[in-house]
Structure 1
């Protein structure tokens, strides 16, 4: 048996100064991310990440004998193997370092025979794909599975990769619940820092939960007034996240026939009440100080019942045209229904 004398002395690499390990996502670097007694890490979390990477690169596995923020002891998953590591926090600088270790497996060359790896969990996946997801949010789990198998030789099931992506997206962008909670602060910040912008956030007084949000930035309003035709296109689309809801938008066409965003709203559902509220907010910004005399506009929509009622009520006298594609789709549906 290998005997470990655990103490609080700082170990070094051959008498040199302490080296802090840096986490790099490549098999070659992972082979050496756990190397010697005295090797140091930023904290216990980084040490655990390096342990997983080292195990995956060497096709071995390990078990924790002790695992907390101050001390970690790991042994080989094979019984009676002498491979083990003892690491703990240095009191002097709060770094986390390997105090004693035996990195030679006495269990022989009994590497893992499976195509997967027990340490390649969703947390590991999150660490591996985090940097790529920062620049490519549309990075799909199916593509992740292929890239991980190619780069690290590990086969994972879809659910594990999907869970890792969700964990990373929450870490980068925060949770949906947390984002909704910050909407009131965001509206206040927009008004304070972007003068002339209009932001309205309604909270249900009974439940104190989010109800709906309207946003029109100053630049969008000025751009519409000065460079767009008096045509406003209104439509809504469903939000496909945990909390559902709908996104209502008002867009225009600029001089280059490109789509120009005027305003948008997030509501709980696409219904008569919300469309009427949206049109009232839109009328408020259009009739603001930037337009001295209110003029009529031509509205385009998909003939949603709530929009038909709201435009007639909020913008009396304005023209209301209908989207040709939706007219054709509705006509075809009616014909099939009759047939």
Structure 2
């Protein structure tokens, strides 16, 4: 606040904004809002651990997304799947996947057009039994459940994860799905390839600044897409000049990962008669242009040590 010439307070906009308390979903249920009456017979959903989730009529969720997430957890917890009869921005109607089962759920959006509630639950799972392989289990759901375990050990074998899912969630998960879960977890924990490629120029500059004498070059196309790179650490060159024979071998390997390409390498033989990697480069294809790029930078690399 500020004082003007007549000692009156002038309230600035930022002062008012800083003092305003942003209401949460529960703050609107205190009887002061005209929409409170539609919540009076309902029960607000609060987070419950997997294994103790209970659905009931007029259970209210903050959003449709929260309702769908909780409903999926409940179905997997109870080991059944559903067939969706109708879904849109206002309603969600589903039934048990088993034809003879009478279980039904009907949920809808409330008058505020944001929160959702379960309006009706009918029937029981009396004859349908439990599903060991539940089609409602997705790689995203498993990744969310197992992320903490994978963060502790991302190299855990998939057969161990399979046994963990059976013990913890009473579900059988196919190994190929668990391989995808590990890939998703790796991307969430360490970032994906799409995030790594734009960081290559910074990585090259870091190599040259922290390893003086190293050679690192990243090349891009006119449309700013990765084209090639050429990297050699200074210790590799000094190791070659000081402890290897005066012969360089050239090799090529085709990459079969998510992003294809070709790796070109220059190697030597050290004093133990073992392969000593001198430099490596990644190019899009094996061609005259890519080999010319590789040998031109190899010559520039050794030109730094001619003096």
Q: TM range, normalised to the smaller chain?
A: 0.5 to 0.7
Residue 145 (str. 1) matches residue 171 (str. 2)? no
Alignment partner, residue 107 of structure 2: 86
Whether the aligned pair in 2 keeps the contact of 1:72 and 1:88 (CA below 8 Å) is: yes
Give the drift of 1:63.
4.0
Is 1:187 the counterpart of 2:205? The answer is no
Alignment-derived partner of residue 99 in structure 1: 117
Q: Would you say 1:244 and 2:260 are equivalent positions?
A: yes
Q: How does 1:102-113 map to 2 (within 5 A)?
A: 106-113=123-130
Relative to 1, partners in 2 of residues 1:283 and 1:146: Cα closer, same or farther, differing over 3 Å?
Answer: farther
1:230-266 deviation digits (Å, cap 9, x = unpaired): 4388654432214432333467999xxx999764321
Structure 1 residues 39 and 32, CA gap change in structure 2 (3 angstroms): farther
Partners in 1 of 2:83 and 2:35 — Cα distance? 23
Three-state SS of the structure 1 residue aligned to 2:260 is coil
For normalisation by structure 1, the TM-score amounts to: 0.55
Whether the 8 Å CA contact 1:116–1:154 is kept in 2: the answer is yes
What is residue 22 of structure 2 aligned with on the other side? none
Would you say 1:115 and 2:115 are equivalent positions?
no
Name the CA shift for 1:241/1:101 in 2 (closer, same or farther; >3 Å).
Answer: same
Q: Tell me the alpha carbon deviations over residues 181-212 of structure 1, each in whole angstroms, 9 at most, x when there is no partner.
A: x44x531564389636644233456x976432
Find the aligned partners of 1:162 and 1:226 in 2 and give their Cα distance.
Answer: 39
The 3-state SS of whatever aligns with 2:217 is: strand
How far apart, CA to CA, are the structure 1 residues paired with 2:184 and 2:87?
A: 22
Quote the Cα distance in structure 2 between the aligned partners of 1:117 and 1:263.
50
In the alignment, structure 2 segments of 5+ residues that lack a partner are: 1-33
For residues 251 and 130 of structure 1, the distance between their equivalents in structure 2, rounded to whole angstroms, comes to: 40
Give unmatched runs, 5+ long, in structure 1.
1-6, 23-28, 295-339
SS at match of 2:80: coil
Distance 2:236 2:91 in 1: 60
The corresponding residue for 1:156 is 173
Deviation at 1:137, TM superposition (A): 4.1
Measured after TM superposition, the shift of residue 281 of structure 1 is 2.0
Aligned CA-pair RMSD: 4.9
Q: Residue in 1 aligned with 2:68? A: 48
Q: Encode CA deviations 1:203-230: one digit per residue, 9 max, x unaligned.
A: 456x9764321234xxx32686499944
